[in-house]
């Protein structure tokens, strides 16, 4: 069957896919242009997509032969699950395998922001470090802090386990209980986001929510950029309403170099590196290929998403 992979993947997963099907991989590091993807759609039996690909109703309608979609990500907010379900097309994702790596990065961002790691590195590189000073680049402690985890699913729970070693008090929201968001924001020294992007969570952290946070609190986002209202975050950072923010995801994404967010103070921002370790990205490729092989064979995918999550 004809399969299109929208970017090259690490590891040997694509070799396994190519051993059974006619596979074409987009050769450029940049995402496939929309027009290019639409033009290929009528010939495709299988699609292995990235989170940067909009697999919407238009694309699905343009692919009458499409039998399976495998998304190289945990989130599937880039895929129209209703349109796929209406056609009986299974959609797979890659949960679990990136949980630990993303949790590690969330804790790393807390430490980097609170201890001013990026700012200190730049200070040294500019040649401004002349002597040790008692008040140079003072930050805040993670150990003993109160950390609010918004979204207490796989990744949120692993972050909580990581923070046990820092003697943190853990607060959380989630479908299985926990605090109301308002109380969590008001009590936390760090707020870390681990909720999926849904209509209910889009813009979950806006101006009102940021205003409820402590002036010395930090916001960390390794979930999805649109969970945070970017304009409101820019305003809050400039107004020093919060101590800072550390983001692995942004809205928009990628973030243009002249975006106002990059002019905000006390900001650490990464290019979506939550799962960016050799082992994790290779395992993600294996899971994505397993999903696609199963879907093309007409069987259930090992990790199948059938409806949008709450």
Tell me if the bond preceding 76 is cis, omega within 30° of 0: no
Residue-level pLDDT at 310: 35
Check 119, 253, 282, 304 and give the catalytic one.
Answer: 253
Q: Give the active site residue among 224, 241, 281, 283.
A: 224
User: Do 3 and 26 contact (CB within 8 A), yes or no?
Assistant: no
Q: Is 238 annotated as catalytic? A: no
User: In this structure, are residues 103 and 162 in contact, taking their beta carbons and an 8 Å threshold?
Assistant: yes
pLDDT for res 174: 79
pTM beyond 0.85: yes
What is the set of domains in the chain, with CATH numbers? 2-95+278-305 (3.40.50.720), 99-269 (3.40.50.720)
pLDDT at 306: 76
What is the predicted pLDDT for the residue at 307? 57
Paired with 70 in beta bridges are: 48, 92
CA 6, 12, 17, 19 dihedral sign is positive
Q: Hey, how many other C-beta atoms are within 10 angstroms of the C-beta on 200?
A: 10
pLDDT by residue for the chain (310 residues), tens only, comes to 999 999 999 999 999 999 999 999 999 998 999 999 999 999 999 999 999 999 999 999 999 999 999 999 999 999 999 999 999 999 999 999 999 999 999 999 999 999 999 999 999 999 999 999 999 999 999 999 999 999 999 999 999 999 999 999 999 997 778 999 999 999 999 999 999 999 999 999 999 999 999 999 999 999 999 999 999 999 999 999 999 999 999 999 999 999 999 999 999 999 999 999 999 999 999 999 999 999 999 999 999 997 544 3
Quick one: pLDDT at residue 70? 98
The reply to whether 40 belongs to the active site is no
Report CA 37 to chain centroid distance, whole Å: 23
Q: Which of 248, 119, 107 is nearest to 168 (CA)?
A: 107
Given the residues 116, 194, 272, 283, the one annotated as active site: 272
How far apart (Å, rounded) are the C-alpha atoms in residues 151 and 130?
44
For residue 164, indicate whether it is catalytic: no
């Amino acid at each position: 069957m004809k399969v299109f992979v929208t970017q090259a993947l690490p590891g040997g997963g694509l070799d396994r896919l190519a051993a059974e099907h006619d596979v074409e991989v987009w050769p450029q590091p940049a995402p496939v242009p929309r027009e290019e993807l639409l033009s290929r759609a009528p010939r495709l039996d299988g699609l292995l997509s990235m989170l940067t690909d909009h697999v919407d109703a238009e694309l699905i309608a343009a692919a009458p032969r499409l039998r399976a979609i495998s998304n190289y990500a945990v989130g599937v907010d880039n895929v129209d699950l209703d349109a796929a379900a209406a056609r009986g097309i299974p959609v797979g994702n890659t949960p679990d395998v990136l949980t630990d790596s993303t949790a590690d990065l969330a804790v790393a961002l807390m430490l980097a922001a609170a201890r001013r790691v990026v700012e200190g590195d730049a200070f040294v590189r500019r040649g401004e470090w002349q002597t040790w000073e008692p008040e140079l680049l003072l930050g805040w402690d993670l150990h003993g802090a109160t950390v609010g985890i918004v979204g207490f699913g796989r990744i949120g729970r692993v972050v909580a386990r990581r923070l046990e070693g820092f003697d943190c008090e853990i607060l959380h929201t989630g479908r299985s209980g926990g605090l109301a968001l308002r109380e969590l924001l008001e009590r936390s020294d760090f707020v870390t986001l681990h909720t999926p992007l849904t209509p209910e969570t889009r813009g979950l952290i806006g101006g009102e929510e940021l205003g409820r946070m402590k002036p010395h609190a930090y916001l960390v986002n390794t979930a999805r950029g649109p969970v945070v209202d970017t304009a409101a975050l820019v305003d809050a950072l400039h107004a020093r309403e919060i101590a800072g923010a550390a983001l692995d995801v942004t809205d928009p994404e990628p973030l243009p170099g002249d975006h106002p967010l990059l002019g905000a103070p006390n900001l650490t921002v990464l290019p979506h590196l939550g799962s960016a370790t050799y082992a994790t990205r290779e395992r993600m490729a294996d899971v994505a290929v397993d999903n696609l092989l199963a879907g093309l064979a007409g069987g259930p995918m090992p990790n199948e998403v059938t409806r949008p999550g709450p």
